[in-house]
Structure 1
Amino acid sequence: MDAALAVGYTAVAVLIGREYHDQWLPLDTLGYALTVTANLPVAFRRRAPATVLAVCLMAWIVSITIGYYPALNVYGSMVALYTLTAERPRWMAVTGGGLVAGTWIYAGALAARASMASVIVQAVVFVAVVSKFGDNAGKLAARNRELAEVTERLRVEQADRARRAVADERMRIAGELHDIVAHHMSVIAVQAGMAAYVHDRSPEDAKAAVGVIADAAREGQEELRRMLGLLRAPTGDAEGVPDAAAPGLSAVGGLVERMRAAGVPTRQVVVGRPRPLPAGIELCAYRVIQESLTNVLKHAGPAQVTVTTEFHVGELAVRVSDDGTGLSDDGTGLGDVTGSGHGLIGMRERARLYGGTVTAGPRAGGGFEVVLTLPATPERTER
């Protein structure tokens, strides 16, 4: 574009110079060379506007001094001044404008066809207009650059948010898989160990244990199918809020029954008046209870367990406590069930997601206790 502009200005100047101008020298070889030098450098105006302006001005001044038509080579200097004002510091623009105005006045003085006052006014007005346009173009370019930078920052931030959202969703899915698989596999492992232990002495107990294994496997399969179905759904909440079909407090009784079937005496206590809670709160409470009972199967040994759900004003509290002392001496029930150590971390992260807390530790009278508290005000409903 700049090259075409430079060639165009040069061609116009040459055509004007070839016309007869009374009082001024006709273009010769030197005149053509000066005309080309005063206009063609405009092709490089964006790379080095100050240098281009200096070259164009020098060629213009020389051509005026020799006696060629004064208005012949003004175009290149004006375009170079425009670019200098738009892209360089103000002091350079002011200096360049002064030089162009001075050259214009010098040309007017040599022409001697108009009063000096008129020549000075023309020089000041033309230079001021060109400089103003250049300054506006520079400000617009600066705003466009700022807008491009802001757009790029927003794009990067959006990409970061998307990556964080993907990471959070992966963590959520990993937590769901851990809670589902760990609990049911623990029940299966316990019952498999029990079945192997009593197989010869009590076939009926072994058969019952196998039945519990089958039930746990089916329930785990159903939960996995439900979760995978939610993941495949084309629409869903962007925050990953659990679907209403997710297990909640009403399903805690099934966990208690499964613990009893596994040979662990377990009772359920409800304090306060039960009320519907947001699906996310109920799923969080259910998963914490499920993980706590899984840990009892893994680590408590012979124990009695109490699952307490307390409905308070604006708060839900869940306690899972046992009086166990660790693995039994004969190793029955638990077999080689081990934990990864991530259960408590996952519970705390899940509670934090919903604004709650989890505390866990040994009880003063023996055993272990997990306490979950969650905000559960009536107005916090999920749509």
Structure 2
Amino acid sequence: MGRDYQLPGFREFDGTALVLTCLANIPLAARRRAPMTVLLTCCTVVAWFLTLGYVPSLNLFGPLLAMYTVAATRPTRTALPGAAATAGVTFYSGMVVEVYTLWTALAQALVATLVAWLFGAGARRLADRNRRLLALAEELRREREARARSAVLAERIRIARELHDVVAHHMSVISVQAGLARYVLATDPATVGAALDTITDSSHEALEEMRRMLALLRVSDADPRGEGDGCDPAPGLGRLDELVERIRAAGVQVAVVVVGSPRPLPPGTDLCAYRVAQESLTNVLKHARGARANVTLDYGQPERLTIRVADDGPGAPDGPAHGHGLAGMRERARLYGGSLHAGTAPGGGFTVTLSLPVGVVPPGRHEPGVTGRRPSPPARPA
């Protein structure tokens, strides 16, 4: 090899040249782990190789490849010393060839180093872009998962709220009536019969509301509005009289006062108002049995409905509140842009006040948590 590749004026390729060639090229295998170290090693060995008088073109590929790796993996400020070393070795190789002039050797060094630098910098920009795209894709994936978890949690809360409103009210009525029937079982058959009738009605009503809620949860993609399942409209203030009668049958005196002219409400607002009234009266039945309750529907403000349920019972119990009733009512109020205040009244008893905006919902638009429901007729003065 040494004798075949021999130029006049240069030293013959011998064992020393072979060792230096290996030292200049073998470190390239580790250039991605330590690119700057490999580059400086290659430049040093090649400069030594040229100083000993060997043919320059044999080992110039190593520094240029190492320079490309440095530019591709290191920032510009770090790569500048490596570029200077590469240009210096390339310039030196041109100078030892007598056919090159000073300017030709300088141009060769600058062009070769610049080409290696540009290719490496382009590869680094592409790698940075790919990393940013991967990070963005991962962020979008996490955001989608977070939204999905949030949607599932919101749906669970909505279902739990509906279950609580349906089950708690009717089971409270059934419990009170069952206790009353057991108490007067041997002495007042008429009262027992009335209590059993109330239990039957409450059971049927609870089953009907559960069926309606499950039907809405099972709406298919082909019938997204739930109009083909035959379920009745969701309860609203139009059924307030039925609710009041059940509470009265359970032994609580309830008076209903309507201020202003009743008017149709958007379906979600109507359901919210009914559920708050239902939960408030159920709490009176559970915690203030024997008290009197007053329900006030105030339509006096053009774009707002205020519902107040007050009783003359002992007020809120001492200690931390338990259950999900008040929390569920507040969530409903916030969902429809309203507010709810509950607490012990100054003169005794407990008061729940709900304030809701009652803007008209355009046809075809459905409010949050309401699927295919129609507004119930307004409540009638009692």
1:127 aligns to 2:105 (yes or no)? no
Select 2:303's aligned residue among 304, 314, 323. 314
Separation in 1, partners of 2:266, 2:19? 85
CA offsets, 1:342-376, max 9 Å, x none?
A: 32222112212222111122344543221101122
Separation in 2, partners of 1:244, 1:22? 101
Separation in 2, partners of 1:277, 1:118? 89
CA offsets, 1:123-173, max 9 Å, x none?
A: 112212221222232233223323333332333333233323322222222
Select 1:150's aligned residue among 136, 146, 149. 136
8 A Cα contact 2:308 2:353, kept in partner: yes
Select 1:362's aligned residue among 344, 349, 365. 344
CA offsets, 1:267-312, max 9 Å, x none?
A: 3333333333332222221111111010010112223323222333
Separation in 1, partners of 2:311, 2:206? 24
Separation in 2, partners of 1:40, 1:229? 74
8 A Cα contact 1:313 1:377, kept in partner: no
Separation in 1, partners of 2:29, 2:5? 28
8 A Cα contact 1:244 1:279, kept in partner: no
Q: What secondary structure sits across from 2:265 in the alignment?
A: coil
- Which runs of structure 2 are paired with 1:157-306 in the superposition (5 Å)? 157-235=143-221, 245-306=233-294
Amino acid at match of 1:232: R
Amino acid at match of 1:353: L
What stretches of structure 2 of length at least 5 have no aligned partner?
A: 226-230, 316-320, 367-382
Identity within the alignment, %: 50
Separation in 2, partners of 1:71, 1:376? 87
- Which runs of structure 2 are paired with 1:39-78 in the superposition (5 Å)? 39-78=25-64
Separation in 2, partners of 1:155, 1:140? 22
Q: What secondary structure sits across from 1:274 in the alignment?
A: coil
Separation in 2, partners of 1:221, 1:380? 32
TM-score under structure 2 length normalisation = 0.83
TM-score under structure 1 length normalisation = 0.83
8 A Cα contact 1:278 1:380, kept in partner: no
Q: CA deviation at 1:174?
A: 1.7
- Which runs of structure 2 are paired with 1:20-35 in the superposition (5 Å)? 20-23=5-8, 24-25=10-11, 27-35=13-21
What stretches of structure 1 of length at least 5 have no aligned partner?
A: 1-13, 238-242, 327-338
Indicate the larger mover: 113-122 or 223-232.
Answer: 223-232
Indicate the larger mover: 201-210 or 305-314.
Answer: 305-314
- Give the structure with the higher percent helix: 1
Higher relative contact order (CA 8 A, sep 6+): 2
Separation in 2, partners of 1:92, 1:25? 36
Q: What secondary structure sits across from 1:308 in the alignment?
A: strand
Q: CA deviation at 1:313?
A: 1.9
Amino acid at match of 1:155: R
Separation in 1, partners of 2:219, 2:28? 61
Judged with a 3 Å threshold, the aligned counterparts in structure 2 of structure 1 residues 41 and 234 are, in CA distance, closer, same or farther, namely farther
Judged with a 3 Å threshold, the aligned counterparts in structure 2 of structure 1 residues 44 and 18 are, in CA distance, closer, same or farther, namely farther
| Aligned length, in residue pairs | 352
Q: CA deviation at 1:98?
A: 0.6
Indicate the larger mover: 116-125 or 257-266.
Answer: 257-266
8 A Cα contact 2:338 2:354, kept in partner: yes
